[in-house]
């Protein structure tokens, strides 16, 4: 135990570890809040789809030799998010099919470009680290941390201000529209926020594991709580706890960061299932 604390305080003396913790907590908090809405609206897989888009765009940025690939990745991902959330309802294809299609296409494009126009000697290493999250969370610079903090504050503020609207639209979009709520606008805002979070989260867990950040906290808290506010609050808390535990464990045991966080989320989900079963029909509002 003592030894563990020593190791931890040793690591904490490095700023990059502190940065990683801050960024990890913020991203997982934002992802979990929106996750509740996405899971309830049957868009659980949008995180996956969007992250594949971001992967594809990153490859393009790499080929074009852009130094700051955020400038390209963020707008394109936002556009894809809007397309997936809104276009899916109107066309003849179902939302899930649209997501699947866009997601595999961009994955293919990304891998294709990385292979053909590669500048690095270790392609599979590059691909692997983009897909499964890399040590890039541990190489964050001050600039990235600030960017992340600012975006997270904006996301949280928007979420709190629009909380009631988000609830109404998630629960019953037609009713909301019929009573004059501008559902289109709020859907658009949600899509933009989701895209931003996904792009940020790619650093943390990589594009294949992003869905976990979005889906697990929401699912876990829905096992226990039965009103919307408690579910949202609980999933935020769970998500932050899992991210902290995951990052600390990965430092102590030198395991991959992303995978450790996701496994922590999964364990918490199992525990919540159990609690939900024990509470059973008992009222827990």
Partner 1 sequence: MSYIICKDVTLGYEGKAISHHVNFTVNAGDYLCVVGENGVGKSTLVKTILNLRKPLGGEIIRGDGIKEYEIGYLPQQTMVQRDFPASVWEVVLSGCLNRCGWRPFYTSGEKAICEENLVRMQIEDLKNRCYRELSGGQQQRVLLARALCAAQKILLLDEPVAGLDPRVTVEMYELIQKLNQEGITIIMVSHDIHAAVRYATHILHMDNQPLFFGKTEDYVNSSIYQSFMGKETLPEGGSRE
Summarize as ranges the residues that interact with partner 1 (CB under 8 A): 40-42, 160-165, 167-168, 170-172, 174-181, 222, 225-231, 283, 285
Minimal distance in Å, beta carbon 205 to partner 1? 26
Q: Which two tokens stand for residue 233?
A: 């609050």
Tell the smallest beta-carbon distance from residue 226 to partner 1 (Å). 4
- What is the nearest approach in angstroms of partner 1 to the Cβ of residue 232? 10
Written as one string, the DSSP assignment of 263-274 is HHHHHHHHHHHH
Q: Between 106 and 170, whose beta carbon lies closer to partner 1?
A: 170
CB of 202 to partner 1, least distance (A): 28
User: Between residues 125 and 184, which has the closer beta carbon with respect to partner 1?
Assistant: 184
Nearest to partner 1 of 18, 41 (CB atom): 41
Residue 139 sits at the vertex; the CA angle it makes with 135 and 142, to the nearest 5 degrees, is 150
Name the residue nearer to partner 1 (CB basis): 28 or 37.
Answer: 37
**Distance in Å, CB of 171 to partner 1, minimum:** 6
Gyration radius (Cα) of the chain, Å: 19
Residue 255's region, left for phi above 0, alpha for psi from -120 to 50, else beta, is: beta
Query: How far, in whole angstroms, is CA 123 from its chain's centroid?
Result: 25
Nearer of residues 55 and 216 to partner 1, judged by Cβ: 216
72/87 with CB nearer partner 1: 87
In the numeric block, the tokens 């990385």 are attached to 114
8 Å CB contact between 209 and 258: yes
- Pick between residue 104 and residue 157 the one whose CB is nearest to partner 1: 157
Are 17 and 11 in contact by the 8 Å Cβ rule? The answer is yes
Largest CA distance in the chain: 62
Give the span between the Cα atoms of 159 and 274, in whole angstroms: 30
* N residues, the chain: 285
- CB 163 to partner 1: min, Å: 7
Query: 207 near 219, Cβ under 8 Å?
Result: no
Rounded to a whole number of angstroms, the minimum distance from the CB of residue 177 to partner 1 is: 6
Residue with Cβ nearer partner 1 (19 or 43): 43
- What the block records as the tokens of 120 is 């690095």
**In the complex, minimum distance from the CB of residue 136 to partner 1, in angstroms, rounded to a whole number:** 35
User: How buried is 6 (Cβ within 10 angstroms: 0-12 exposed, 13-18 middle, 19+ buried)?
Assistant: exposed
Q: Which two tokens stand for residue 90?
A: 């109107």
């Amino acid at each position: 135990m003592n030894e563990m604390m020593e190791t931890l305080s040793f690591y904490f003396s490095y700023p990059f570890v502190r940065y990683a913790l801050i960024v990890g907590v913020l991203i997982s908090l934002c992802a979990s809040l929106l996750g509740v809405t996405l899971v309830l609206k049957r868009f659980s897989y949008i995180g996956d789809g969007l992250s594949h888009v971001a992967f594809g765009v990153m490859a393009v940025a790499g080929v074009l030799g852009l130094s700051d690939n955020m400038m390209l990745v963020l707008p394109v991902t936002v556009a894809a998010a809007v397309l997936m959330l809104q276009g899916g309802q109107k066309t003849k294809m179902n939302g899930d099919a649209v997501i699947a299609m866009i997601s595999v296409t961009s994955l293919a494009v990304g891998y294709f470009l990385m292979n053909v126009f590669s500048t690095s000697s270790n392609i599979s290493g590059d691909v692997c680290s983009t897909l499964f999250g890399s040590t890039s969370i541990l190489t964050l610079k001050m600039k990235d941390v600030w960017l992340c903090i600012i975006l997270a504050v904006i996301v949280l503020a928007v979420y709190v201000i629009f909380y009631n609207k988000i609830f109404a639209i998630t629960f019953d979009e037609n009713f909301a529209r019929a009573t004059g709520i501008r559902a289109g606008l709020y859907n658009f805002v949600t899509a933009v926020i989701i895209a931003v979070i996904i792009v940020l989260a790619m650093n943390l867990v990589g594009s294949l594991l992003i869905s976990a950040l979005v889906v697990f906290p929401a699912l876990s808290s829905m096992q226990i709580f039965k009103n919307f506010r408690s579910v949202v609050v609980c999933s935020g808390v769970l998500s932050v706890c899992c991210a902290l535990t995951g990052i600390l464990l990965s430092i102590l045991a030198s395991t991959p960061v992303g995978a450790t966080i996701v496994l922590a989320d999964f364990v918490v989900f199992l525990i919540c299932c159990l609690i939900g079963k024990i509470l059973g029909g008992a009222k827990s509002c």
